[in-house]
Chain A
Amino acid sequence: MTAPRSWWKVRPGHFSAGVALLPLALIVLVAYVGTVLWTLRVSLTNARTFPSDVYVGLAQYERLFQNERWLLSLNNLALYGLLFISLSIALGLLLAVFIDQKVRGEGLLRTVFLYPYAMSFVATGLVWQWLLNPELGLQNAVQALGFAGVQFDWIVDQDKVMYTIVLATVWQASGFVMALLLAGLRSIDAQIWNAARIDGIPTWQVYVFIVLPMLGESIATVFVLLLTATVKLFDAVVSMTQGGPGNASEVPAKFIMDHLFGRANLALASAGSVVLLLTVLALVAPLLYARSRYHRRGERL
């Protein structure tokens, strides 16, 4: 019988692991936890351009939730997130799987699908605005070809403008999703394919029932990345619609940015950030928790 290991008698490897994580711990504590607390504090004050020490309780939050533009932006974000994430994953996965079929010109195709990711939305947003503009872009072009009945004017439509943001951002993101999933696909054992061929399982079933579950971690990574991109959605909206028509394509990050800089209302912007963060965490936390329970692989060293 020995006494349980004392806390200070850590094995050398664990000690190194702890030390290696120190920069991360520092970043998390100072840069993330610190700024969140700072933001929380500011959101309770009357800060304008600069932080202030005059506390006004929850007044900023009250104002926030009386603001139609803010409420609309949350709605838009939910709709956008759902479509953007699911479509990006679907398209990215299809591209990855198809590119994985030993096609000719793989390198070229991969670059074609990836290039939008390299383009800043400052300019591509404008191109999308043109393409989607009913007077300038696709609708006009198709009608000129003799299909007078074709209508494609979502970008000027209050109810459909968010779909155009989805379209442009899926165009930008799905190439990267493809790259990530392709890396995942190619770390899967080739023997799976031999086994499946022997068992006579049709290719699509192998993908759906065998490969897809094995891509679980990659898809989880993609999901989180797309989710953070969703929450931070800003550039595309500004360059394509400036939040319009009216406020129809307003999103929280733009609302926050407008108030942070242009409108010099640090406190309201902070309140918006806090609400946004809490909303996202409330949605994501149960998901991540369930996943971590599911994935528990016992203690590792």
Chain B
Amino acid sequence: MLKFACIAASALTFTVGSVHAAGPKAEVIHWWTSGGESAAVKTLADAYTNAGGVWVDTAIALGEQARSVAVNRILGGNPPTAAQFNTSKQFLDLVEQGMLNPIDNVAQQQGWDKLLPETVLSVVRVKGHYYAAPVNIHMPTWIWYSKAAFKQAGIGAEPKTVDELFAVLDKLRAAGLVPLAHGGQPWQDNIVFTAVLANVGGTELYLKVLRDKDRQAIEGEAFKKVLLSFKRLQSYTDKGSPGRNWNDATSMLIAGKAGVQIMGDWAKGEFAQAHQSPGKDFGCIAGFGAKSPYIIQGDVFVFPKTSDPQAIKAQQLLAGVMLAPVTQVAFSNKKGSIPVRTDVDVSSMDLCAQQGLAIMKDKSRHLGNGEIYMSPDQNGALTDILTAYWNKNQPVEKVQKDIAAALKN
């Protein structure tokens, strides 16, 4: 028993005593564990170290896992200094339970209200206080295509409209290639849906359905068309699609076996691994038409409640560093995303990222990912319906009705 007490005591002294290190010590929980992601998180850590802090890294694979560990640690009375969440309503409950420290003075100092896209602000700012530091913007619905496959199928130009996209897919099929490389996992089905909703339905319908949960819009003709287009895309996938990882689908593009994949900008990392570069080996299309929306998804850090002045100092410093322009660019270059602020030097970024940043300059084209408008629960319920529809033959009217029921507040 004595021994137990000793161990418990030493654990205690560790957490208490750890603060008096060189600079403010920050333990950060995140889920960036793969090779490219590790390089990205290193830029954040380096920036923090340069600012005089000590970064203690706690990497835990998979977002759900990392977030639940953060929540558990908060509950167990041993919170980290900062924890990663998505740019979404995931941490709203934490805010409402008073478990996070606001970082208002950093936000005011840096002028977040002017700096950040409204879509991001709507998540970060709760009742006038700022609770999360956004680090990047991912765009989940890029349309990637293999130049080799296009060439083989005799496709000269990249598609400019949805109809052209379908024509391209038909041509790819005729050439004996897999038209649409898709990983049949629920979250990937959801990405394809989001892409179709944004490009076929348009910004207005997108917001009506996902943000306003407007029953009339959901059961209307326009949304029906969206769902039918979504389902039509399924017919362009191959038999091995269900269950496939996204990077295996990307590999099919890399090998020239498949033509098109709808996937987030992180897919660039997979192309880079295979020594392929944008514009030369593969192309990226953010959307169709001059007004096509740019879907915003991304990562933020929240700062669990603590009264320890050293820890609060670390949290403030961390938040400031994360939004510094240099950090933002360096981070996104490694991560494949784009900075959350548009006032940065983009010259070092790749073709697709520059294309994205150009679109982001137009505020009217900002549009949030589903998670920004829906609770995690609603988003999940929607995913369930979509993935069932994608895989089964269901009447589209039933799907509309199911979605309306799932999104009912």
Contacts and interface: CB of A to CB of B under 8 A. Distances in A.
A245 B243 contact: yes
B391 A133 contact: no
Interface in B374-388: 375-377, 379-381, 384, 387-388
Contact of A156 (B71, B90, B240): B240
Interface string A240-261: 1111111110000000001111
Contact of A245 (B65, B238, B242, B381): B242
A153 B240 CA distance: 8
Interface stretch (A34-42, A175-183, A184-192, A262-270): A262-270
Contact of B241 (A48, A126, A156, A240): A156
A153 B384 contact: no
Interface residues of B, number: 33
A261 B185 contact: no
A273 to B, nearest CB: 16
Nearest to A263: B380
Interface in A29-69: 48-50, 68-69
Contacts of A245: 184, 242-243, 391
A244 B387 contact: yes
Contacts of A158: 391-392
Contact of A49 (B93, B184, B245, B390): B93
- Chain A contact-residue range equals 20 to 34
Given A261-B67, A261-B68, A241 B242 contact: yes
B243 A129 contact: yes
B244 A133 contact: yes
Contacts of A100: none
A134 B185 contact: no
A106 interface: no
Q: Interface of chain A, helix or strand or loop or mixed?
A: loop
In the complex, which of the residues B97, B239, B243 has the most CB atoms of chain A within 10 Å of its own CB atom? B243
Contacts of A263: 376-377, 379-381
A135 interface: yes
A259 B381 CA distance: 10
B65 A264 contact: no
A49 B185 contact: no
A281 interface: no
A264 B392 contact: no
B105 to A, nearest CB: 27
Interface in A88-146: 126, 129, 133-136
Interface in B97-131: 97
Contacts of A260: 68
A156 B377 contact: no
Contacts of A258: 380
Contacts of B64: 261-262
10 contacts: A135-B239, A156-B240, A156-B241, A241-B243, A245-B243, A246-B390, A258-B380, A259-B377, A260-B68, A263-B380
Given A246-B390, A263-B376, 7 more contacts: A68-B388, A134-B239, A136-B240, A156-B241, A261-B65, A261-B67, A262-B64
Q: Which 5 A-B pairs rank lowest in CB-CB distance, beginning with the nearest?
A: A246-B391, A135-B240, A49-B93, A245-B242, A263-B380
